[in-house]
Structure 1
Amino acid sequence: MTLLLSLPPPSSHCFSSSFSSGHRSSAVVTTGLPIRFPAVAAATTTHHHQQSLPIDRSSLAVAEAVEEDQLWAAACLRIRSFNDFQSSSFGIQDHKRYLAEREFLALKERIAGKREGFKRVSCINATLPLSQLSNSANDLCASCKFTSNGEDRVVVGTLDLNQCLWLPEEIPGRKPEGIEAEYGRAYLSNVCVARELHRNGLGYDIVSKSKTVAGEWGITDLYVHVAVDNEPAKNLYLKSGFIHENDEPAWQARFLDRPRRILLWIGVPCTNEL
Structure 2
Amino acid sequence: MIWSDLLRQGIQTLTAAGIPDAPRDARRLAAHVMGIEASRITLIAQDTVPPGIVQLYDGIVAQRARRVPVSHLTGSRQFHGRVFEVTPDVLDPRPETEILIETALARPWRRVLDLGTGSGCILLTLLAERGNQTFGIGTDLSRAALSVAMRNAANLRLGDRVQFHAGDWLGALPVSTAAFDLIVSNPPYITLDDYAALAPDVGLYEPRLALTDEGDGLGAYRRILHAAPAHLVQGGWLIVEIGPTQGPVVSDLFRTHGLTAITVSPDLDGRDRVVAGQKPRV
Q: Give the TM interval when normalised to the shorter protein.
A: 0.3 to 0.5
- TM norm structure 1: 0.33
| Largest Rg, 1 or 2 | 2
Higher RCO (CA 8 Å, separation ≥ 6 residues):
1
**Higher share in helix:** 2
